[in-house]
């Protein structure tokens, strides 16, 4: 039986290492949705391209012909030159040290011609999938046209697997579908941490809103030994405990939910930690000198912008004693130096080599990179929404459609 989390997600999927790809044409779904300079159109961060290289190089070295595809931006189903993947193809050519043939379309005459002539060890890149309405609509005919270019589908865009789009789920109805190395790594690390964590298991959640992480909180309370809540979302919980939080961020419509989760934690014997002190100022302005106050007694004209030093030290102490830690969401406005200390201390604590440390994408991943710590944690997720939905236990369409282990795929 394939491995399944307590939330019902099958994550033990066949990958390219289970599959004979030699001489096959591979439709490879990558996540090349990268930031571009608004004025010049140049690539400003090629991290997602670099993340795809191990899968691409393996396939090429194994004698496969690779037809890479991705979306970029939100062109709304119409051809928009500013969202062309041409610049991505040029950067990929530089990184691979070999030419990448760039198609002028995704399912038209040019892509069919290039795909038909593609030889083992060669790579091409289709034009932006979201130039076609059928991509986001998961239109079967669009998916069929993509699938017709190849023999095998390889899913490697973890950041998009929560979307039931044609290039994510639809093509699996026409081609055998397996995971690339990037997706396989995400499933192994996050799925393994959820299913069989090295104890004690600590979950850290931050960010601005409780509403963004309702399902995550509810699910992790069933798994974690300790749940740490920081960032703006902590102040909804503090107010739910009758704290005076000043003008700090608070979702008043989530106060009852917060109370319910506090009761659930107590019932399950889960330690739920909130910041005992906070760094406050009248507004998020790096030129102001913040004060440190008790989190339950924040002055009316002040707002919390970071956890305080006592809270940071308490959180670090708990992390240091952990076996497994999953962290998603910063402790404060870490982009401003005066309010970055809480997030920095948590990030540094995550680098303890004795801890299985999973950083759950988004702002947490950005913080790890900002502090120069990316290579010192077990895993930094490439997903945003996909990571959150994985932590919630939702079925991910781009994972559910892949072939299950064990055994080699017959393709």
Both tokens of 132, joined, read: 């076609």
Domain residue extents for the chain: 16-181+395-400, 197-372
Q: Look at strands 123-125 and 291-294 and give their pairing.
A: unpaired
CATH of 16-181+395-400, one of 2.60.120.10, 3.30.300.180, 1.20.120.1200, 3.40.50.1260: 3.40.50.1260
- Token pair, residue 399, equals 């994972």
Residues of the chain with pLDDT under 50: 1-8, 408-411
| Domain 16-181+395-400 identical in fold to domain 197-372 | yes
Pairing between β-strand 244-245 and β-strand 297-298 as defined by DSSP bridges: parallel
Task: Indicate the DSSP class of residue 15.
Answer: B
Res 35: pLDDT = 86
- Residue count of the chain, please give it: 411
Residues whose CB falls within 8 Å of the CB of residue 354, separated by 6 or more in sequence, listed in order: none
406 preceded by a cis bond (ω within 30 of 0): yes
Radius of gyration of the chain measured on its C-alpha atoms: 23
314 Cβ contact list (under 8 Å, min separation 6): 273, 276
pLDDT at position 407 is 52
The pLDDT value given to residue 383: 85
**Predicted TM-score (pTM) of this structure:** 0.88
Q: What local confidence, expressed as pLDDT, does residue 47 receive?
A: 85
Residue 209 among the catalytic residues = yes
State yes or no: is 231 an active-site residue: no
- Residue 156, Cα to own-chain centre: how many angstroms? 12
CA dihedral (310, 316, 220, 246) in degrees, to 10, reads 20
**Residue 376 designated active-site:** no
The residue annotated as part of the active site, out of 215, 385, 394, 405, is 385
Q: pLDDT, tens digit, for every residue of 172-223?
A: 999 999 999 999 999 999 988 888 899 999 999 999 889 989 989 999 999 9
Choose among 410, 411, 400: nearest CA to 13: 400
Which of these is catalytic: 159, 342, 362, 398? 362
| pLDDT given at position 129 | 98
How many Cα atoms sit within 13 Å of 330 on the Cβ side? 24
User: Which one of 57, 101, 188, 209 is the catalytic residue?
Assistant: 209
Per-residue model confidence (pLDDT) at position 10: 63
Non-local (6+) Cβ contacts of 83 within 8 A are 72, 73, 74, 75, 128, 130, 131
Known catalytic residue: 47?
Answer: no
Residues 223 and 194 sit within 8 Å (Cβ to Cβ): yes
Q: What is the CATH number of domain 197-372?
A: 3.40.50.1260
SS3 state at 245:
strand
pLDDT at position 348: 97
What totals of helices (H) and strands (E) does the chain contain, helices first?
A: 14, 17
User: Given 24, 48, 130, 223, which residue is catalytic?
Assistant: 48
Which tens digits make up the pLDDT trace of 256-267? 999 999 999 999
Nearest residue to 189 (alpha-carbon basis) of 355, 17, 362: 355
Spatial distance between the Cα atoms of 141 and 363, rounded to a whole number of angstroms = 37
Tokens of 187: 């499933």
**Beta carbons of 326 and 391 less than 8 angstroms apart:** yes
């Amino acid at each position: 039986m394939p491995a399944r989390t307590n939330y019902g997600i099958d994550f033990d999927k066949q990958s390219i290492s289970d599959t004979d790809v030699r001489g096959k044409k591979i439709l490879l779904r990558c996540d090349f949705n990268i930031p571009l300079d608004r004025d010049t159109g140049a690539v400003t961060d090629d991290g997602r391209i670099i993340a795809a290289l191990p899968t691409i190089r393996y396939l090429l070295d194994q004698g496969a012909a690779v037809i890479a595809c991705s979306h970029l931006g939100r062109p709304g189903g119409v051809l928009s030159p500013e969202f062309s993947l041409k610049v991505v193809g040029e950067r990929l050519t530089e990184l691979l040290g070999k030419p990448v043939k760039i198609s002028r379309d995704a399912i038209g005459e040019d892509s069919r011609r290039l795909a038909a002539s593609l030889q083992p060890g060669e790579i091409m890149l289709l034009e932006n999938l979201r130039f076609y309405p059928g991509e986001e609509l998961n239109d079967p005919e669009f998916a069929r046209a993509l699938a017709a270019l190849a023999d095998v589908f390889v899913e490697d865009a973890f950041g998009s697997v929560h979307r039931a789009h044609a290039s994510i789920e639809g093509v699996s109805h026409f081609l055998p579908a397996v995971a690339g190395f990037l997706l396989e790594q995400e499933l192994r690390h996050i799925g393994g941490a959820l299913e069989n964590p090295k104890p004690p298991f600590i979950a850290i959640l931050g960010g601005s809103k409780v509403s963004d992480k309702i399902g995550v909180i509810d699910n992790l309370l069933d798994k974690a030994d300790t749940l740490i809540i920081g960032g703006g979302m902590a102040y909804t919980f503090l107010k739910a405990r009758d704290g005076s939080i000043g003008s700090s961020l608070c979702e008043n419509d989530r106060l009852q939910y917060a109370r319910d989760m506090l009761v659930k934690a107590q019932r399950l014997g889960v330690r739920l930690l909130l910041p005992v002190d906070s760094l406050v100022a009248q507004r998020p302005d790096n030129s102001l000198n913040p004060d440190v106050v008790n989190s339950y007694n924040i002055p009316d004209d002040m707002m919390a912008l970071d956890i305080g030093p006592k809270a940071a030290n308490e959180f670090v102490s708990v992390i240091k004693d952990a076996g497994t830690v999953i962290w998603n969401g910063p402790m404060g406005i870490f982009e401003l130096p005066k309010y970055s200390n809480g997030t920095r201390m948590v990030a540094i604590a995550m680098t303890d080599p004795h801890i299985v440390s999973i950083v759950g994408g988004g702002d947490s991943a950005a913080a790890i990179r900002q502090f120069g710590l990316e290579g010192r944690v077990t895993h930094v997720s490439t997903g945003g929404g996909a990571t959150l939905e994985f932590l919630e236990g939702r079925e991910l369409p781009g994972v559910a459609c892949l072939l299950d282990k064990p055994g080699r795929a017959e393709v």
